[in-house]
């Protein structure tokens, strides 16, 4: 399943560095989540969804 984190961040009008700071992580770590080089575990996805005011489902591209 492909992540849509970058798209959601842009839709919400946030800066990646602001989101990373709110999550308490380094911006490079957020970048790794976005590119798929780091696994996004459920607890982190829930935290990210809360920060972005969306659902965890919104962070993933739907399979067709």
pLDDT, one tens digit per residue, over 6-59 is 999 999 999 999 999 999 999 999 999 999 999 999 999 999 999 999 999 999
pLDDT of residue 64: 63
Residues β-bridged to residue 60:
3
Number of residues assigned to the chain: 64
pLDDT of residue 63: 73
Contact residues for 53 (Cβ-Cβ < 8 A; gap 6+): 12
Residue 62 has pLDDT above 90, yes or no: no
Q: What pTM value is reported for the model?
A: 0.89
């Amino acid at each position: 399943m492909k992540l849509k984190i970058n798209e959601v961040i842009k839709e919400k009008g946030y800066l990646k560095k602001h989101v990373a700071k709110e999550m308490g992580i380094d911006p490079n770590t957020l970048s790794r989540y976005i590119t798929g080089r780091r696994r996004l575990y459920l607890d982190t996805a829930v935290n990210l969804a809360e920060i972005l005011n969306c659902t965890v489902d919104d962070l993933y591209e739907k399979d067709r």
